[in-house]
Structure 1
Amino acid sequence: MPSPQLLMIEDDTRLAQMVGEYLAQSGFGFTHAASATDGLQKLQGDGGGAVCDLVILDLMLPDMDGLDVCRRIRGLSGPMAQVPVLMLTAKGDPMDRIIGLELGADDYLPKPFEPRELLARIRAILRRRSEGAASASRSMQFGSLEIDRDARTVSVAGKGAEVTSYQFDLLVALAERAGRVLTRDQIMEAVRGRELEAFDRSIDVHMGRIRAAIEADAKNPKRILTVRGVGYVFAKQQD
């Protein structure tokens, strides 16, 4: 089985070298891009860029804001539009984290960080994707909403709905338990396992993005409902 390929877009060359050496020892392929422009070119395959299974993205880059890079990644054509993105940042403002998640980042790790935690988060993201691909191939249909677990796609009335890899897993976790109220902890356990702590309110941010993708009116949702003080429920009877 080929090694997962990681792309780190980071202008701190020393940090990238340290991270690359550590991840290589853990069996990962590693490519470094020192600028946003170089990173986006590698993702699009310009100049023979390698296939990428996950992007480690610094928020502060010399030629482009990391949030803009994330936005551009999600705007790419083909499979790279859905590549998981793990954001790194030295900023302590929680708003940066929220904006990053809203733009489609799958996870967020502030600097400075322990390499072991970075490795654990990478493995968790890739495991979710692998488990999702190995799950039942049949699609789930709820009225006009179709969730194809094999293709990892979501469509509403035949039109594709854009969600990140993590948001897809959240949606599947809810849909598989349709009609059952789940706490935030239960949702996190279903998609991430027990080894990592959830970001405060990150579930709410992702739910907002999922609603924007699948609901006719995200402010008045009919499919993913909030149970105040408890969590969320996927309403299986609504269309």
Structure 2
Amino acid sequence: MTQRRVLVVEDERTIAESIAARLRAEGFTVEIASDGPSAVAQFHAGQPDLVVLDVMLPGFDGLEVCRRIQADRAVPVLMLTARDDETDLLVGLAVGADDYLTKPFSMRELAARVHVLLRRLERAAGAAPPAIRIGGIEINQAERRVRLDGADVHLTPTEFDLLVHLAGRPRTVLPRERLLAEVWGWVDGSGTRTVDSHIKALRRKLGADLIRTVHGVGYALDLPA
């Protein structure tokens, strides 16, 4: 298998080099960018498989970087943020981030998140089941594309995987912990807010009534009447 390429975008040199060293030790090819414009340029030049992206950057911020690279090619983005603020997280997800870590974080946790995101890409590269239709929504798993009433809807890789997971079990209530384990690959159940944020993003893009909340339990995708 070709060695996976990761672009690390972080303006604090010590942090950037620590992340790069850990990921290289995990077997990845790593490049570093320290500001918004150079991040976008290196993304286009290097075509990385995944981007580790800090929010606060000189030039323009990580949210703008994420918006620009996702407009070019859907790629997993692990966003690094100094604040555990739901508004910041929702904005990050809205522009195409798949996952986030709040500073300070352990390099072990970062490496684990990178591996999980890339494993999902590898699974998606295998044989895909047929398209799924839910009312006006068409999910093409082979092309990893979603259309709403005939118009393309841009989903991040994680949003797409979460939608497929719910659509494969319509009307079934799936607990947050189960979704974390089966979609994200997390087993400790500590990231339930991540699930909630991605559900909000799917509702915003595909309709508020698509996914039903079962308070205290989880979520279910409801089929149209």
TM-score by structure 2 length? 0.91
Q: Structure 1 residue 92: deviation in Å?
A: 4.6
Q: Structure 1 residue 227: deviation in Å?
A: 2.3
CA contact (8 A) 2:99 2:194 kept: no
Q: Structure 1 residue 183: deviation in Å?
A: 1.4
Q: Structure 1 residue 37: deviation in Å?
A: 0.3
Match in the other structure for 2:94? 102
Q: Does 1:67 align with 2:54?
A: no
- Rounded to whole Å, the distance in 1 between the matches of 2:81 and 2:206 is 30
State the number of aligned residues. Answer: 225
Match in the other structure for 1:52? 48
Match in the other structure for 1:23? 23
- Rounded to whole Å, the distance in 1 between the matches of 2:46 and 2:83 is 30
CA deviation profile, 1:117-169 (whole Å, cap 9, x unmatched): 11000001111222233253421122321111121111122211111111101
Superposed CA RMSD: 1.9
Q: Structure 1 residue 51: deviation in Å?
A: 1.5
Q: Report percent identity of matched pairs.
A: 39
Match in the other structure for 1:235? 222
Cα gap change, 1:196/1:42 in structure 2, threshold over 3 Å: closer, same or farther? farther
- Rounded to whole Å, the distance in 2 between the matches of 1:205 and 1:89 is 15
CA contact (8 A) 1:9 1:39 kept: yes
Match in the other structure for 1:210? 202
Unaligned runs of 5+ in 2: none
Q: How does 1:1-239 map to 2 (within 5 A)?
A: 1-43=1-43, 45=44, 49-74=45-70, 76-77=71-72, 80=73, 82-195=74-187, 197-215=189-207, 218=208, 221=209, 223-236=210-223, 238=224
CA contact (8 A) 2:181 2:187 kept: no
- Rounded to whole Å, the distance in 2 between the matches of 1:88 and 1:28 is 19
Cα gap change, 1:197/1:56 in structure 2, threshold over 3 Å: closer, same or farther? farther
Q: Which moved more, 1:190-199 or 1:51-60?
A: 190-199
TM-score by structure 1 length? 0.86
Cα gap change, 1:213/1:93 in structure 2, threshold over 3 Å: closer, same or farther? closer
Kindly report structure 1 stretches of 4+ aligned residues shifted beyond 6 Å: none
CA deviation profile, 1:17-59 (whole Å, cap 9, x unmatched): 222122112111111111110001122x2xxx11111111111
Question: Aligned letter for 1:152?
Answer: R
Question: Aligned letter for 1:5?
Answer: R
